[in-house]
Structure 1
Amino acid sequence: MARTFGVEEELLLVDARTRLPLAAGDDAVHLAGLAASLPPHMPPRPALTVELQREQIEIVGPPCATLAQQVSAIREGRLMADAAARAVGGRAVPLATSVSAGLPHLVPEARYERIQRHVGLLAAEQLTCGLHVHVEVDDHEEGVAILDRIRVWLPVLLALSANSPFWYGVETGFASYRYQAWTRWPTAGAYELFGSVAEHDRRMDAVLRSGVALDPGMLYHDARLSARYPTVEVRVADVCLDPAHAAVVATLVRALVETAARQAREGVPPAQVGVTELRAWSWQASRFGVEEQLISPATGAPAPAADVVGALLDLLRPVLAEYEEVAPVEVVVAEILHGGSGARRQRAAFAGRGDLIDVVDAAIALGIPVPPVDGDDEPG
């Protein structure tokens, strides 16, 4: 039986006319008649909620069993988010950072206000949108074994998803500047090998005891045991421009989790790679995406991005074959490698006139499905 997997997508809210960030995400969620907090269980259909800033809307996707279901769920969720945004004069856009200048506005909730008091400008500047993938696990013991074995491949997933070359009106030179902004948080980014549930819990408790993380929700590692669901949550990816890219990144995560679980059962030890090395690998992925070289987990040295991605596909192919997902995954991965991730597409949109509004327009056109006509059962 295939593990179920679900995604959470954070989208940027922009004014429908000016295309500038719009501080109305909480209003959009409330006006849509939807809960303004995360549901206690993954919903049976996509649901909307607020995020840290009022310029965001988050989509909480349902558990899915197949890639096809995931594509459908992501499209449906994006349609829901865009409809809610339209109700307050905005649009929901799959951009991982804001392309326009201007500080965001905090959602007026007690926890968010406490976080802002704690971290100051770090929260005041924080307007990033990620793709979080939840994959079901049997228990914490299996989850920790998976975390130990997937960590060396997380930079490759970041590179495939890279969709944030602009930051508040500036061309950053990075494919994923979201990752650079996000890893300023003291508990974000790469994590150590744990080896056991006891050691995992000891280290997490130590960070909480320090007071640097105010609660378990602020343990922002690239992958973690979810505090809400019986899942491993992989948080390294940018929100993707294309819904199909998002679904395939999620599918790769699910296959990686299953592969790691099998390795653990077979006694295959995790790669002994330190946090400093992993941070360097992730920086390389954030800087160049799939446009140049990535660091090979096999050698620790740079190699063409296509070769490193190919090694990941080789590792995952037995699981993808069981799930009958090899062909559709390879098609989309080839499209990302040759046509570019969201970062390249954003830059291409900007290159035409040198106008950042064109980047937002392209993101809406490429990332938000066309609403179905009356009588059409499909969500996009």
Structure 2
Amino acid sequence: MVRSGSPTWGRPAPQVGVLVASPDRHAGQPFSRADTVGNGPWTTRHGAAVGAERTVSAMSGSVAERERNTAAGGTDLFTVGVEEEFLLVDPHTGAAVPAVDLVMDQVPAELRGQVQREFQTSQIEIGSPPGLELSSIRHSLGVLRAALADAAERAGVRVLAIGTGPVDGPVPPVVDKPRFDRMIERFRLLVPGPGNNGMHVHVGIPDPDTGVQVLNHVRPWLPILHAVTTNSPFAKGEDTGYASWRSVEWERWPSVAPSPFLASHEHYQRLIRQLIASGVMLDEGMLYWYARLSAKYPTVEIRIGDVCPSVDDAVLVAALVRALVATAMTDIAAGRAALRTDHHLLVAAHWRAAHDGLEGEGVDLTDGELRPTWELLEKLVDRVRPDLARHGDLDQVTDLLGGLRRHGSGAARQRAVFARTGRMVDVVEDLARQTRG
């Protein structure tokens, strides 16, 4: 859930291409405002966002690669940050359990600020600091996931990176917050379930008007990422026939949808006001579009996917999302128009992504034809390749794509385990292993 607040746009930036380190004093704030470059988490130069890199890991080879690309003419680099939601389950049955308070009590004190409760008491959320380096994102997610796994074990449960609960069981209560109480009162039977767990990728942008244009440019490509992240094929102990059952459950909410084609930031704000007035949303935090402007940070927030099973998967998606946003910025600067995809065809593409996942077919929104999803993913990678290289991410993304092709999507991995053993508890154990990393 995104908390309320107003982002700060457009700060003066340091020399682009110079990695700026800030003190490690904001472990509790995935997107801290204080004591970073330009007095905010993102600063701008020539319309791009540059983040203060946290000193959380040693520099990787991608630094040199990025600096070579910067020297060759690239100037604008973009910060990226990741939020992940997880499910807490009984290790013996796989059923969701209301254990968030027990687990929070076991999280090391120095990490508690980066871990928080979510909507239901069976869920827990982490957030990485924003950074330029994928290595810092990898390190942060790895540390936080391992800490959560240890805390969960001490509390007698397991933490799973899974879109929704794989087996049936008592519905865990909602976290005790007045806002959540209002949601229950208004939406009633939409609320129950074991927990709906996604991954949200934030990419820094210079201002909200540019952000709205970015939303228009990225929307035709998001069904491909939707397919990549599918990680919830089971519900109530059975194969649902969908690669992402979470998507089916999530789309019951009236404000869940692809973002519309937007004329301006004023149009975006007007739609929010109208949706709140209609009653389908309590507030801006309930704008559950697959891509939106963050209500709290100066970022575009891509929130299409199931939470990824492993750190490798999460890093891959974060890199692709950042490159997609950066490519959109390049197109905007060059005056290239966004593809105006028919809304119904876009909805169909997302349904197909949730149903087939990575291993099936998807809708190519450039012509409306069905194609193998891997072919569509290769098309996406080709489109964003220059920005992957400019950020120093190309080699790592190439390696991670190779691993994804070998091992399959999260949904495929779960199905493979169940096909071998026929035991849902083995699926849970395998997911717990992947979650820890």
TM-score, reference length from structure 1: 0.91
Distance, in Å, in 1 between the alignment partners of 2:405 and 2:188 is 38
Task: Give the equivalent residue in structure 1 for 2:159.
Answer: 92
1:54-93 aligned at under 5 Å gives the runs: 54-93=121-160
The letter for the 1-side match of 2:432 is I
Question: Residue 191 of structure 1 contacts residue 275 of structure 1 at CA under 8 Å; is this kept in 2?
Answer: no
| Cα gap change, 1:46 to 1:223, in 2 (>3 Å) | farther
Residues 4-27 of structure 1 deviation map (CA, whole Å, 9 limit, x = unaligned): 111110011112454432211133
Partner of 1:166: 234
Instruction: Tell me the amino acid that sits aligned with residue 270 of structure 2.
Output: R
Corresponding residue for 2:253? 185
Counterparts in 2 of 1:341-360, with a 5 A limit?
Answer: 341-360=409-428
Corresponding residue for residue 9 of structure 1: 84
Q: Go from structure 1 to structure 2 and tell me whether the alpha carbon gap of 1:46 and 1:60 turns closer, same or farther (over 3 Å shift).
A: farther
Deviation at 1:335, TM superposition (A): 2.6
Structure 1 residue matching 2:191: 3-state secondary structure: helix
Match of 2:102 in 1: 27
Shift of 1:126: 5.8
- Give the whole-Å Cα distance in 1 for the aligned partners of 2:433 and 2:194: 25
State the SS of the aligned residue for 2:303. Answer: strand
2:317 counterpart of 1:242: no
Q: Tell me the residue number matched to 1:304.
A: 372
Q: Please say which structure displays the higher CA radius of gyration.
A: 2
Deviation at 1:209, TM superposition (A): 1.5
Q: Does the 8 Å CA contact 1:131/1:239 hold for their aligned counterparts?
A: yes
Instruction: State the Cα RMSD in Å.
Output: 1.8
What's the secondary structure of 1:120's corresponding residue? helix
Name the counterpart of 1:378. Answer: none
| DSSP-derived class of the 1:23 partner | coil
Aligned to 1:92, what secondary structure does the other structure show?
A: strand
Structure 1, unmatched stretches of 5+, are 36-42, 370-380
Instruction: Name the SS of the counterpart of 1:11 in structure 2.
Output: strand
2:403 counterpart SS class: helix
Cα offset for 1:281? 0.3
Report sequence identity in percent: 36
Tell me if the contact between 2:243 and 2:356 (Cα under 8 Å) persists in the aligned partners.
yes
- Partner Cα distance (1:52, 1:289) in 2: 26
User: How far apart are the structure 1 equivalents of 2:143 and 2:298?
Assistant: 24
* CA distance in 2 between partners of 1:211 and 1:305 (Å): 37
SS at match of 1:252: helix
**Which residue in the other structure is 1:375 paired with?**
none
1:146 and 2:221 equivalent? Answer: no
Count the aligned residue pairs.
Answer: 361
After TM superposition, the structure 1 stretch with the greater mean CA deviation from structure 2, 223-232 or 68-77, is 68-77
Please state whether the residue corresponding to 2:115 is helix, strand or coil: strand
Deviation for aligned residue 1:34: 6.2
Match of 1:288 in 2: 356
- CA positional deviation for 1:168: 2.6
**2:291 corresponds to 1:228:** no
Does structure 1 residue 254 correspond to structure 2 residue 322? yes
What is the identity, as a one-letter code, of the residue corresponding to 1:86? E
Question: Is the Cα contact below 8 Å between 2:206 and 2:298 reproduced in 1?
Answer: yes
Is 2:333 aligned against 1:265?
A: yes
Q: Is the 8 A contact 2:92 2:425 kept in 1?
A: no
Cα gap change, 1:32 to 1:69, in 2 (>3 Å): closer
SS at match of 1:205: helix
In the other structure, the counterpart of 1:216 is 284
Q: Any unmatched runs of 5+ in structure 2? A: 1-15, 17-76
1:203 corresponds to: 271
